[in-house]
A and B are shown apart, each in its own frame.
Chain A
Amino acid sequence: MKRFIQNSTVFLILLFLITNINPLILLWTGKYKDTVEGARIYHSIKKSKQKKKTRKIILGDSVGHQLFPNSKNNDTLNSLACNQAIGMVGHFILLNNYLNAGNQIDTVFMVLNPFSFQNNLNEVYTYHYFLKPFYIDEYKSLFTKSVNKQIQKIPYADYCRVPYILTSNWAPDFTSKDSIDYTFLSPISIEYLTKIKELSVQHNFKVIILPTPTCLSKKPKVGKMHQKEIVKNNLGGEFGNYFNTIIYLDDNNFVDGMHLKKKYIQYYTDYYKNKLMK
């Protein structure tokens, strides 16, 4: 037994070192932010902290990112669109960063598909796309009670900064067991849309929420969303004509029922650009 314990201990120590060499290098150099899935989130965070002259910014989900990739630099529009899994709290943090960097804003366009608002940090991708980039001391003061409560429900939430976990695509298998009584706006989305609205008043900019092109087959589902959740939460000004301006396209236009096929992206980018610049 003594021999077994000795050998196992040496083996595990070496294993720990071996498995952590690469993550530690990635962590030290910060390169993991380019290599992990969802690298575009880190890119948006980096961009949100830069001083820019652009006064129109875009926040958005992955479809918003398809239309306005955050990798492209534009003099008139600064896109921070990345992924819906960061939740409304993630969008708020990006916006807050941008303002803290001393930037001036005229308009914030939020390009999001109708299902993105349902995110209550209760999704399978929340760990990888939200916790890893945002669950750090710098942002913890921006979290509300409900965000903290939700985070505690995610398994291994406190281990998301462990080098191997942070620098890899590993995430626990998480399926929320919470019952859902909203059809459109999740409680966390409401909280952070309200916070975004408060920022807009404080810094004097406009918030316009725009829908991304949506699958025709999802029209009935969208139809069942309770639009009164918008009015009830006093967000009518931000959503404006959101539901009436959704462009429904045949399912063949999408790769996976959500993201546009490559050949249609440029067309809709131009379409939205015209809309935003008006």
Chain B
Amino acid sequence: MLFNSISFAIFLPIVFILYWFATKGNLKLQNILLLVSSYFFYACWDWRFMFLLIFSTLLDYYTGIKINDATSKKKKQFWLWLSIGINLGFLGVFKYYNFFAASFADGLAMLGFEANFRTLQVILPVGISFYTFHGLSYVIDIYKNRIKPERNFIAYSVFVSFFPLLVAGPIERATHLLPQILKKREFNYGKAVDGLRQILWGLFKKIVIADNSAEYANIIFNNSAEYSGSTLVLGALFFTFQIYCDFSGYSDIALGTARLFGIDLLRNFAFPYFSRDIAEFWRRWHISLSSWFKDYLYIPLGGSKGGMWMKIRNTFIIFLVSGFWHGANWTFIVWGFLNALYIMPSIILNTHRNNLDIVAKGKFMPSLNDFLSICLTFSLTVLAWIFFRATNVSHAFSYISEIFSRSLFTIPRFPDIGNSIVIIFLTILFITVEWIGREHQYAIAHLGLKWYKPIRWAMYYGIILTIFYFTGKEQQFIYFQF
């Protein structure tokens, strides 16, 4: 059940009405309803994998209690590693087995040996990377004594499988979400309206910008050998906006939906394309994953405490792991490596925390220096996305080499270029709205709040009609595959 599908448009109001009316504010009933709805939501993808989700939930629930109750450090470690091992084991089998088998066979072939590993015809259970990370952070936090285990199984299960975040995050922390699940929730008009506004903006991003950009990005990337450098630049730009609007659009819908149920999820995006350096970009892109890696990988590895070399090594590790987390393909690993290279100068010069504030805060236009920094950071990001989108590493290199050829200075051409003009115009409009709203949670969070109601509603209708009339060909959310 996609967030941008008719089934979800029917599912959500039903759950919403039952949640606020049928449960009569009874917390236990509300949580049971959320759990049942979440399992139903997940079963709509593939009911067989629901058992995997339930198993993973039971595993972390049980090991969490065992870690807490263990009397010796050894026992605590045993339960911790059991949970980590099984969780990562599932992830390894479902997500990485074929990659390792194929890469190992390729490696042996290069050495002159022939190996024929059987690849498994496995379907990747949707959301596995996300709920595995939920569970891992929970048991690690208990081990580190940051939290106590949750003994209410229903509440814990809602924490793992709350449907807005189940398939593509944000990756929540028990410290943030569990207290909200355990607390009595009452309907809040402002919060619900804000949630609907965020859902609307998310749908606009996904359906209008991402899905339409995807069509052109696919045409260009799938036939890149036929196009000039200038067209390939356009293709890379289309993908840049596709991936941002696809994933941040999804996150907006997830956050907005959760808010309808009185729950605040972690923010996942903070206008990353307005970043002035790569470090700032990574503080603003997929925030819940970046902070997860920081807390559960970078810091345990020693973080920046062991001097410059340690800092450099750990930075490379988290970027490579982050790339690998995205998928079992060398393109993602190169993408992670490239981002690590990008961030290195600021790590070495210790300037990576220079841009912690919002760009041009309180001003309409950025300074020339900020503007140039944004352009440079954006260009580097676009270049890295080519690896992310390419079918393989050599495809990415040939794509980039054509960009840096003389054909860069020709007029872009590809089938359907005429129709793409409308999408380019809408994307420019979108960037403008994002720029105006960059100081808030999401671009239209405050837009029109003080306007006369009919004008504000006219704005909503305008966005809805734009969605209706510029619906792109329905595309799967990119991050569902991770």
Contacts and interface: CB of A to CB of B under 8 A. Distances in A.
B6 A172 contact: yes
A172 B20 CA distance: 31
A4 B193 contact: yes
Interface in B408-440: 415
A161 to B, nearest CB: 16
A18 B459 CA distance: 13
Contacts of B464: 15, 19
A136 interface: no
A1 B185 CA distance: 13
B92 to A, nearest CB: 29
B88 interface: no
Nearest to B460: A11
B465 A19 contact: yes
Given A19-B468, A168-B468, A3 B189 contact: yes
Interface string B459-472: 01100110011010
Interface string A159-173: 000001000101011
B46 to A, nearest CB: 13
A172 B465 CA distance: 18
A156 interface: yes
Interface string A1-29: 10110000001001100110000000000
B457 interface: yes
B474 A173 contact: yes
B187 A1 contact: yes
Contact of B461 (A15, A170, A172): A15
B192 interface: yes
Interface residues of A, number: 15
Contact of B6 (A3, A4, A156, A255): A156
A164 B468 contact: yes
A170 B471 contact: yes
Interface residues of B, number: 16
Contacts of B468: 19, 164, 168
Instruction: Please name the 9 residue pairs, one residue from A and one from B, whose CB atoms are nearest each other, closest first.
Output: A173-B474, A1-B187, A4-B189, A18-B461, A4-B192, A3-B189, A19-B468, A1-B20, A15-B464
B457 A4 contact: no
Contacts of A15: 461, 464
Interface string B163-203: 00000000000000000000000010100110000000000
Interface in B444-482: 457, 460-461, 464-465, 468-469, 471, 474
B301 to A, nearest CB: 43
Contacts of A18: 461, 465
A11 B192 CA distance: 14
A14 B457 contact: yes
Interface string A125-140: 0000000000000000
Nearest to B471: A170
A18 B471 CA distance: 17
Contacts of B460: 11
Interface of B: 6, 20, 187, 189, 192-193, 415, 457, 460-461, 464-465, 468-469, 471, 474
A84 B471 CA distance: 24
B20 to A, nearest CB: 6
B61 to A, nearest CB: 33
Interface string A21-41: 000000000000000000000
A12 to B, nearest CB: 10
B419 to A, nearest CB: 12
Contacts of A14: 457, 461
A129 to B, nearest CB: 15
A82 to B, nearest CB: 21
A36 to B, nearest CB: 13
A173 B477 CA distance: 14
27 contacts: A1-B20, A1-B187, A1-B189, A3-B189, A4-B187, A4-B189, A4-B192, A4-B193, A11-B457, A11-B460, A14-B457, A14-B461, A15-B461, A15-B464, A18-B461, A18-B465, A19-B464, A19-B465, A19-B468, A156-B6, A164-B468, A168-B468, A168-B469, A170-B471, A172-B6, A173-B474, A255-B415
Nearest to B462: A18
Contacts of B415: 255
Nearest to A7: B193
A170 B474 CA distance: 10
Contacts of A156: 6
Nearest to B21: A1
A49 B187 CA distance: 59
Nearest to B476: A173
B426 to A, nearest CB: 17
A3 B189 CA distance: 8
B108 to A, nearest CB: 33
A15 B460 CA distance: 10
A119 B468 CA distance: 29
A121 B438 CA distance: 48
Interface in A98-123: none
B260 to A, nearest CB: 10
Contacts of A3: 189
A3 B188 CA distance: 11
B411 to A, nearest CB: 20
A4 B194 CA distance: 12
A27 to B, nearest CB: 15
A1 B474 CA distance: 34
A132 B70 CA distance: 65
B461 to A, nearest CB: 6
Given A1-B187, A255-B415, 4 more contacts: A4-B187, A4-B193, A14-B457, A156-B6
Nearest to B474: A173
Nearest to B7: A155
Nearest to A159: B6
B110 to A, nearest CB: 32
A251 B252 CA distance: 44
Nearest to A1: B187
Contacts of B461: 14-15, 18
Contacts of B6: 156, 172
Contacts of B193: 4
A168 B469 CA distance: 8
Nearest to A12: B13
A19 B469 CA distance: 10
A182 B468 CA distance: 38
A255 B189 CA distance: 54
A39 to B, nearest CB: 16
Contacts of B192: 4
Contacts of A173: 474
Contacts of A168: 468-469
